[in-house]
Amino acid sequence: AILMANLASDVRFYLASEADPAIALGRINAAFSGHGWDDRFVTMIVAVVDPANQELTLVNAGHMPPLLRTSTYDVVEVGSAEAGLPLGVVDDFEFEAYRRNLESGDFLTIFTDGFSEAMNSQRELFGLERLAELVSDSRVTAANLGRHILAEVRKFAGEYPQSDDMCLVCFGRE
């Protein structure tokens, strides 16, 4: 709890004081590394949308690549090439930003591995392929995408206990 409270404070400070999210994440990483958390690390993604020019900027610190659903309902992982190390691995790591225009109909799904690694009673994983299929479903509106994904993962797992945290963020442009 102390680690996360400290990290949350650093994130708020550096994102508020640095316009470039890649530089801000580098400073967050340096601060995290400087706290002496020993063998601890954190994955995270910083996502910034500039509504004036509809530009999406992602900076990934060791997290699973987000899934982008385009207006044609194609689903692609984005930002893999620019993804960096988790926070706390290398204290002076320089992060790189992924940028693209957020077109009308584009929706981004950022998720923790608790979704893709959710298991059912037969110990089958939900998997990235199933997750991508849910994201691509043209019958699901952007406003309902997150709730739809959560409901389908819970239905898949059934009564099998959740073994990992699950965090999901879905947003886009209509």
pLDDT-above-70 percentage for the chain: 100
Predicted confidence at residue 39, as pLDDT, reads 84
Token pair 């849910």 in the structure block, residue: 134
pLDDT at 163: 83
pLDDT of residue 162: 86
pLDDT of 28 reads: 97
End-to-end CA distance of the chain: 37
| Chain segment 16-42, per-residue pLDDT in tens | 999 999 999 999 999 999 888 778 999
Residues 6+ apart with CB under 8 A from 50: 57
What pLDDT, on the 0 to 100 scale, is given for residue 82? 97
What is the DSSP code string of the chain?
-HHHHHHHHHHHHHHHH-S-HHHHHHHHHHHHHHT--TT--B-EEEEEEETTTTEEEEEEESPPPPEEE-TT--EEE-STTT-BPPBTSSTTPPP-EEEEE--TT-EEEEE-HHHHT-B-TT--B-HHHHHHHHHH-TTS-GGGHHHHHHHHHHHHHTTSPP-S---EEEEE--
174 has a pLDDT exceeding 90? no
Distance CA 17, CA 121 (A): 47
Average pLDDT over residues 61-68: 96
pLDDT tens digits, 100-159: 999 999 999 999 999 999 999 999 999 999 999 999 998 998 889 999 999 999 999 999
Helix, strand, or coil (residue 81): coil
Average per-residue pLDDT for the chain: 94
pLDDT exceeds 90 at position 75 = yes
| pLDDT the model gives residue 151 | 96
Tell me, what's the pLDDT at 119? 95
Q: Is the pLDDT of residue 3 over 90?
A: no
Contact 21, 48 (CB under 8 A): yes
